[in-house]
Amino acid sequence: MTLATIDEQWMRLALQRARDALYRSDPNPRVGCVIVRDGLILGEGATQVPGGPHAEIGAVQNAQERGFDVRGATAYVTLEPCSHVGRTPPCADALVASGIARVVAAMEDPNPLVAGRGFARLQAAGIATKCGLLVDEARELNIGFVSRMTRGRPWVRMKLAASLDGQSALTNGKSQWITGEAARQDGHAWRARASALLTGIGTVRLDDPRLDVRGIGDIDHPARQPWRVLVDSRFEVPLDARIVRNIAEDRRLLVVGAVDDGRRRETLADAGCETLVLANDTGKVDLVALIAELGRREVNELHVEAGSKLNGSLLRAGCVDELLLYVAPTLLGPGMPMIELPAIDDLSGRLGLTYYDVCRIGDDLRIRARFVR
């Protein structure tokens, strides 16, 4: 095999390790590292929970635990080793100290605090570097982190479920369950990888969702519970709503309104909610400002599960990057739409998307479509 083929083989393994961090590393990127010498894996690592070891340090420690000296070895890492002090020391320094001879990275770190500085530090220490191997796969794994670092806002994914004729609920509002169990469980996996889950007061009134992650992970590695965000212009969410009643240290709730009602905000604060007022000129929640605020709060991926009105408002405001649509092989006839959008007079006014991924989940079809910008 050529060196390029060998490098790709080990980088694919590093990407597998990065996927191990899918449900735990947030807000840090999901990174995997594999250290190899003469075709032998010396150590492997993946980013741990914030404050824990990054992938490179974990791989070096894993090699040491297995009795291997990594001097002269090659480290395959899915993201440029960091060069700044954050919650942990710089990974570039740890690789230099370990005696690694070569570092192959999938992509440069989009974080302005790094952005090439990690490579520069390695090169200054005489370590050979290579970057750009399987970059598309690495970027996709960290699409939210890349979005936050380059655009200052999270990657917004809107989850929808509908019948084959496009209905998300019956005319009486009933929607449980249009799709099957496999699709619902898959939906929880997408919830689990998100930094925050967003819904609206209409959905809370109609469905009373818990909006948490269930059935993902295990006892030893439970899935992180994303932060919940509720768009509620007048802070009218009932205190006995499940989204309020299940507030805990790992189940925070931010209620975002447009009317600064001190009494209601104080009542919600007493119940454990955080509140925020972000109003636009029409007296509704400023959704663009909300998305920017979530970016400032280190939200990488925002997962939306809302009703047709809020879905439409988010789309009209240009806040959504991707649709995650589950289509059931059923016909419901008249019902409630997935998204409320104004009528257009010409096809030139349509919102264009491109299919990113289409697959079958149980009896249902899962479509991932991204907006053409």
Catalytic residues, by residue number, are 56
Q: Measured in whole angstroms, how far is the alpha carbon of residue 116 from the centre of its chain?
A: 24
Of the candidates 165, 159, 162, the one whose C-alpha atom is nearest the C-alpha of residue 188 is 159
| Peptide linkage before 27 cis (omega within 30 of 0) | yes
Residues 6+ apart with CB under 8 A from 90: 81, 82, 83, 84, 118, 121
Of the candidates 83, 144, 75, 132, the one whose C-alpha atom is nearest the C-alpha of residue 112 is 83
Of the candidates 28, 20, 23, the one whose C-alpha atom is nearest the C-alpha of residue 46 is 20
Of the candidates 52, 285, 29, the one whose C-alpha atom is nearest the C-alpha of residue 138 is 29
Specify whether the backbone of 334 is left (phi greater than 0), alpha (psi in -120 to 50) or beta: beta
Dist CA 368 CA 366 (whole Å): 7
Residues 6+ apart with CB under 8 A from 85: none
Of the candidates 67, 123, 84, the one whose C-alpha atom is nearest the C-alpha of residue 100 is 123
**Alpha-carbon torsion, ordered 130, 4, 40, 81, to 10 deg:** 20
Pair of tokens at residue 347:
């096809």
DSSP state of 81: P
Residues 6+ apart with CB under 8 A from 302: 144, 154, 155, 156, 157, 194, 195, 196, 197, 198, 229, 291, 294
**In this structure, are residues 106 and 134 in contact, taking their beta carbons and an 8 Å threshold?**
yes
Length of the chain: 373
